[in-house]
Structure formats: C-alpha cells, structure tokens
Amino acid sequence: MKQYQIAVIGSAGSEEYPYDKPLAAMFEAAEKIGQLLAVNKLIVVCGGKGGVMEAVSRGAKSAGGITVAEIAGLSRWAANDYIDVEIVTGDLAFRGPSQLIAMSDAVIALGGGSGTLQEICVAYRLQKPIILLRGFGGWVDKLSPVSFLDERRLVKFYQATTPENAVQKALSMLK
Amino acid sequence: MKQYQIAVIGSAGSEEYPYDKPLAAMFEAAEKIGQLLAVNKLIVVCGGKGGVMEAVSRGAKSAGGITVAEIAGLSRWAANDYIDVEIVTGDLAFRGPSQLIAMSDAVIALGGGSGTLQEICVAYRLQKPIILLRGFGGWVDKLSPVSFLDERRLVKFYQATTPENAVQKALSMLK
Amino acid sequence: MKQYQIAVIGSAGSEEYPYDKPLAAMFEAAEKIGQLLAVNKLIVVCGGKGGVMEAVSRGAKSAGGITVAEIAGLSRWAANDYIDVEIVTGDLAFRGPSQLIAMSDAVIALGGGSGTLQEICVAYRLQKPIILLRGFGGWVDKLSPVSFLDERRLVKFYQATTPENAVQKALSMLK
Amino acid sequence: MKQYQIAVIGSAGSEEYPYDKPLAAMFEAAEKIGQLLAVNKLIVVCGGKGGVMEAVSRGAKSAGGITVAEIAGLSRWAANDYIDVEIVTGDLAFRGPSQLIAMSDAVIALGGGSGTLQEICVAYRLQKPIILLRGFGGWVDKLSPVSFLDERRLVKFYQATTPENAVQKALSMLK
C-alpha cells in the first residue's frame, strides 16, 4: 500500500512574500501539482501552513489523494483544512524541514524563501531528486541558472516550467 | 479531512520477546485494535516493523483505514506491507519514538519492551491519554498496577482488558 | 583534548519528587559524583535544570571540571549557574533526553521520575553502560532489582550504593 | 560560568571544495577566528570534521578556549583532535546543522557549500546574528551582495572582510 511520497515546497503566503510576481499564479500552479500527484497515486508531503502548502494540499484532495503535513510546534490541529496526516515536529526550523524531505522520494519546489532554501539544502545533501519549477520568483528562480548547489555536485537540479512538466519529471525519477 | 491519530505501541516480535505468554494472542489483539480504530475513522500511527506494529496495521487496512509508521534510519520502503505513509526518522532510539507519540491524540499500549516503555514515558510527559491493555506481559503489565508514572501525576493510566475496551477508552478521551 | 563524557541523570527537584526519602542526601550524592568525575577528567553531561542536575554540575565545577547541559526550548541562558556549555534541544521530551544520552560514554542514574526513565530506556537501547545508584527512591530503585530492561538483554544494569562506587564502575567500563 | 557560544561554519575541506580560491588562506582565517574567540572567552561551536571546522578549533585551543562540535552519526570520537565536547546528533543533514545554530549566540560563516547554506538558513530563521566573512568563495560570497535571505527581512547579514572584523562584529551583537 506504500506509495511514493513527493514533497512540494514553497512559500507560505503573501506576508512572507511581498513580491513583484502575482501570487495567484503560483498558488494555481501548486494546486495543479497537487492534483497531478494525486491522479498519479502519489502522496503529497508538505508543510501544513498556507500559501503553496495549502494550494498543493487542496489540489491533491480534489483528486482524491492523501496529504501529509509537517507542522512546527507540538500542538495538533495546526495544519490547513486539506491535510490528512499531521506530523508534529517541534520547534521552528529545527526538525520539520529535514523531516519532510527525508521521507520524500522527490522534491518539487516553486517560489520560496529561506525555509524553502533550507529544504532544498537538505534534499541536495540527502541526494533526493529536486525539480525546480521556475517562474514564480524566490529562491527557486535564483537557483535555477545553476545545476548544482555546490562543488560536490551531489545531485543535479531538474528544471521545469509548468506543473505538468514538474510532475512528469518527478515521476520519471522515482525508483 | 484531519482525523484523530492514535498511536498503538508494543513489541516488534518474538526475537525481542522470548516470553511465557503466547504471542499469537497479542498480535490478534493488536489486529483487532487496528480494525476498530479504522472503523471509527481514526488514523493508526505505529512503528513500521513487525509484531504488534504489523498486526495493528494489517487490521486497520482490512477495515479501510489509513496507517502511518515511523521507521528508524533514512531509507524508504523499510516499513511492513500495511503502511500507507512512512515517516523516516533517522537513528534508532533518537527521535522516532518521540515523533510517533507527539503526533498522536491518544496512545494504546500492549506488551512491550524498552522501546514501548520509552514511548510511554514520552506520552506521559506530553500528557497524552494512555491506555494500557493488560494481559500480554511486558512493560504494560508491569506498569498496570500503578496509576501514574511518577509522583508528578501528570496523566493517569487507563486500564483496559480487551481490544474493544481499549479503543472505546481511547475514543472517550479524544477532545 | 576529547575526554570521556558521562551523563548523570536524576530528578529535577522537590516539586516533582514529593517523596518519603530526604532529598538533601540525594543532592549530596549527586554533588559528590560531579566532583569525582571532574577529578578524573571526565566531562559531566546532564539536564540543565535544578535538583540532581544542579548538584552534579556544582560538584563538577568545584573540582575544575567541564559541564555540559541540554535544555528544552530554544532560549539560551536557561541552564543553572554551574553549566559551561548549553545545548538547546527544542521541545520538551522530544529530543533532549536522547541527545544527552547519545553523546555520553556511560550513564549514572539516581532517584528519577519519568524523564530519567525515558533516558534509561534510550541508554539501554543504545547499549551505553548504565550504573544505577540505589537508595534514593524513584525509578532507579524500582529498576535496581532487575538486571535488564527487557528480554532482549541488550545491556546489563550495574548497581552501585555509593557515589564513589558509581564513578568507579563508570570508569571501569569506558573503552 | 556560561559563556557566549559562537558558531563558526564553513567548508569541510578540499574534497568538497574544488575551488579557484586558495584553501590555505581560508583555513588560516578560520584559525585566526578561533584564536580571537578564545581570547575573548567565547566558546567555539562548529562541526567536528576537517577544513574550516578543524582550523577554527585548532585556533581556539591554541588560545586556551573551549570547543564544542556536532558530529553526524551516533559514534563517539569522530571529531577532529581539537574538540573538547562532542555532540552526537544522528543522521547527516537531519539535525546537526540546526542543533549547532540553535545553541549559538552568533554565527560567523566563511566559504561554504550546501551544509553551510543550510546552517545560514536556520540561523536566519532563528534570527541569530550572522556575519559573512567574504573573500573565500562559496555560498558566503554568493550571499554577501544581499542583506537579507528573503523578503521577510528577519535578520540582516553583517559583512566582514577580516577575521578581526568578523569577531569584533560578533562581539558587538551579543546581548
């Protein structure tokens, strides 16, 4: 019954993303990614907050998928309304980002601030397949000109320009 | 879509449980607990190994439930065949037991060695409802004469003697 | 310059230990253990709170030793006044107890409630040498009649009746 | 007896840093930072491996300081020879980087690959003072043109061009 688990990471929302790009397009893309992952019977793993996290979960649930979120703190019922399984991970920045990545078979990133960048670092170091969906600004767009996060060349970034493309790349890299 | 998450904890299997009690009865009880939790739309959270963990997951899946397991190490696909969502938690004894308990709304324990006892300590300190299902030996039976794990009296142990009784107690304590 | 690191674990203080045993004797024993470990050039690792933790640290500092404490939460300067190095470990019951034990080469326990019991479980599972200093009640005295924490017999408890005896046993088991 | 704890982060060594900058200069700078921190009675916190980590520890010990390292894995005695206190943090990329930063009062970074970048993300999110010592390439030089890691502007990067300057900035920001 185990299915592939795909992390989708990106910005929580407008308050941390006062941005020159329209947020609506980014959230729409995230929702589409969630739908496509669910249609392909993949479990969505994400943070439990708003923004990209809520959009991807809403998309996955609309297609009958399973959604798993990590949330900071020790309190239950802190995730958004589209989450099935809630992983309580304790204090901010400490464990949650690594937990989310470690349990995933591939990572799709779009937009993103410092939390997303931290997750990309962990994914790179754990050599998870990483797909950068360009076009929504943030750290994903800053990173997309490069192929590797450092000189060790542990794992190459895959570039995507549409949600369809990003999910297809993730699917192609699952073992 | 969030549902209550119930941890079911107990021994991995015979190799760590060379016991005067018949293991088959303990596993049967665990399977029954899994069924009852799933029938009541509760998510089962457990370790991903064999023994009680596999039995409770098998029971939950037989009734259409969702199962979540934490596994030690960083490798995926390490859990038994009845697990839907696999949480990779890193090194043994380090984080997994606390992770499993922290994300749960109540804890049902039966049998159990040192890992189960560690989990009961965490549950007690985080003040989760704890139900001890007696009759299968191990630390649960050793603890069942007492009501509290220490003098702070943080949370009282609930006693159960049947799987039905244990699940009913867990249900009654959910907020 | 690395030295052996010895965990000393026990009760935080009277509020969690409303006890028939005099606390003063337990704290005196902890202070003596700290002194002896420092005299033997061993680093003391403990929780950063009061009670046994403060007493063992005070003892170690009085003999010129180095003391390391783990503290729950993310705030610095939370440990008692006798701590040199403060390890901030995040939320209660989640990581600190395992962190403290994992970095230690042997564990000396006296008195103790649920937190100490959790640490003993971790030490047993990580197969660290464990010395139970009897006579101060709590989980250490409850465990001292047995030799192993479960049927797997991973590591045998050593029994001690005086601080001198406990430190000597710890020294004899270092590799 | 508690002293300020300063994280010094950077590349482990040449194998992960096949670089156009001379490594010797970077290690010399790290050693100087260690000396200056120790002279100012600050505890050095770092990773326990080679490269910048070993250099800063050697510098600190040459000036009589205390050094603390986090190491991945669960095995003791894995750190370099200039470490006093060894914090065993479990699996790679999972917990160690956050542990190191969370226990620090300020962070000095130089050079650096993906691990250093992960640590900078954690420091930024936990709002620790961050000093970027430019001139040795890596992520520190890539980041030094910007003042903030993302649009939330949680904490401003401080720029330094010499070890003396970096330590002085760290000192000035301690509360």
Closest approach of A135 to chain B, Cα-based (Å): 31
In single-letter form, the type of residue at position C138 comes to: G
Task: Name the residue with higher pLDDT: C13 or C159.
Answer: C159
For residue A23, pLDDT over 80 is answered with: yes
What is the biggest distance separating any 2 CA atoms in chain A, rounded to whole angstroms?
Answer: 43
Burial grade of D102 (CB within 10 A; 0-12, 13-18, 19 or more): buried
What pLDDT score does C44 carry? Answer: 98
Q: Do C151 and B126 touch (CB under 8 A)?
A: no
SS3 A39: helix
**B132-163 pLDDT per residue, tens:** 999 999 999 999 899 999 988 999 999 999 99
Single out the residue of C82, C116, C128, C84 nearest to residue C10, CA to CA: C116
What pLDDT score does B72 carry? Answer: 87
Q: Which residues of B touch C95 (CB under 8 A)?
A: 94-95, 98
Looking only at the bridges linking them, the beta strands covering A106-110 and A5-10 are: parallel
What mean pLDDT, rounded, does chain A reach? 91
What pLDDT score does C91 carry? Answer: 72
Please give the residue of chain B at the shortest CA–CA distance from D94: B90
**Of A16, A95, A115, Cβ closest to residue D95:** A95
**pLDDT more than 70, % of chain A:** 93
**pLDDT more than 70, % of chain B:** 93
**Of C61, C88, C103, Cβ closest to residue D1:** C61
For chain D, list residues whose CB is within 8 angstroms of any CB belonging to chain B: 73-74, 90-92, 94-95
Please give the residue of chain B at the shortest CA–CA distance from D95: B90
What pLDDT score does B95 carry? Answer: 73
Closest approach of D95 to chain A, Cα-based (Å): 6
**B24-62 pLDDT per residue, tens:** 899 999 999 999 999 999 999 999 999 999 999 999 999
**C152 within 8 A of B16, measured Cβ to Cβ:** yes
Task: Name the residue with higher pLDDT: B24 or C165.
Answer: C165
What pLDDT score does D167 carry? Answer: 98
State whether the Cα torsion B60-A90-C68-C160 is positive or negative: negative
For residue D43, pLDDT over 90 is answered with: yes
Q: Do A117 and D115 touch (CB under 8 A)?
A: no
pLDDT bucket at D93, cuts 50 / 70 / 90 = low
Q: CB atoms < 10 A from the CB of D132, how many?
A: 25
Q: Which residues are CB-neighbours of D168 under 8 A, at least 6 positions away?
A: none
3-state secondary structure labels for all residues of chain B: CCCCEEEEECCCCHHHCCCCCCHHHHHHHHHHHHHHHHHCCCEEEEECCCCHHHHHHHHHHHCCCCEEEEECECCCCCCCCCCCEEEECECCCCCHHHHHHHCCCEEEEECCCHHHHHHHHHHHHCCCCEEEECCCCHHHHHHCCCCCCCCCCCCCEEEECCHHHHHHHHHHCCC
Q: Do B93 and C98 touch (CB under 8 A)?
A: yes
pTM for the model: 0.94
Q: Do C19 and B117 touch (CB under 8 A)?
A: no
What pLDDT score does B165 carry? Answer: 98
Q: CB atoms < 10 A from the CB of D62, how many?
A: 13
pLDDT bucket at B97, cuts 50 / 70 / 90 = confident
Q: Which residues of C touch B151 (CB under 8 A)?
A: 16-19, 113
**pLDDT more than 90, % of chain C:** 79
For residue C94, pLDDT over 80 is answered with: no
What pLDDT score does B23 carry? Answer: 86
Terminal C-alpha separation, chain D: 16
Terminal C-alpha separation, chain B: 16
- Looking at this predicted complex, what is its ipTM? 0.94
What pLDDT score does B1 carry? Answer: 61
Closest approach of B16 to chain C, Cα-based (Å): 5
For chain D, list residues whose CB is within 8 angstroms of any CB belonging to chain A: 15-19, 91-95, 98, 102, 113-115, 117-118, 121-122, 124-126, 138-139, 149-152, 154
What is the mean predicted confidence (pLDDT) over C31-56?
A: 96
DSSP state letters, A83-117:
-SEEEE-BSTTTSHHHHHHHT-SEEEEES--HHHH
For residue A168, pLDDT over 60 is answered with: yes
**A54-107 pLDDT per residue, tens:** 999 999 999 999 999 999 888 899 999 999 999 998 876 677 788 899 999 999
Tokens standing for residue C67: 């003391």
Where residue D152 sits, what CATH number does that domain have?
A: 3.40.50.450
What is the mean predicted confidence (pLDDT) over D108-126?
A: 95
What pLDDT score does B21 carry? Answer: 57
pLDDT bucket at A1, cuts 50 / 70 / 90 = low
Tokens standing for residue A164: 């369809």
The domain total for chain D is 1
Q: Which residues of D touch C1 (CB under 8 A)?
A: 61, 67, 81-84
**B68 within 8 A of B85, measured Cβ to Cβ:** yes
What pLDDT score does D12 carry? Answer: 82
**C100 within 8 A of C125, measured Cβ to Cβ:** no
What pLDDT score does A14 carry? Answer: 57
Q: What are phi and psi of C24, to 5 degrees?
A: -55, -40
Q: Which domain holds residue D109?
A: 5-174
CA distance D125 to D108: 15
CA distance A115 to A129: 18
Closest approach of C90 to chain A, Cα-based (Å): 6
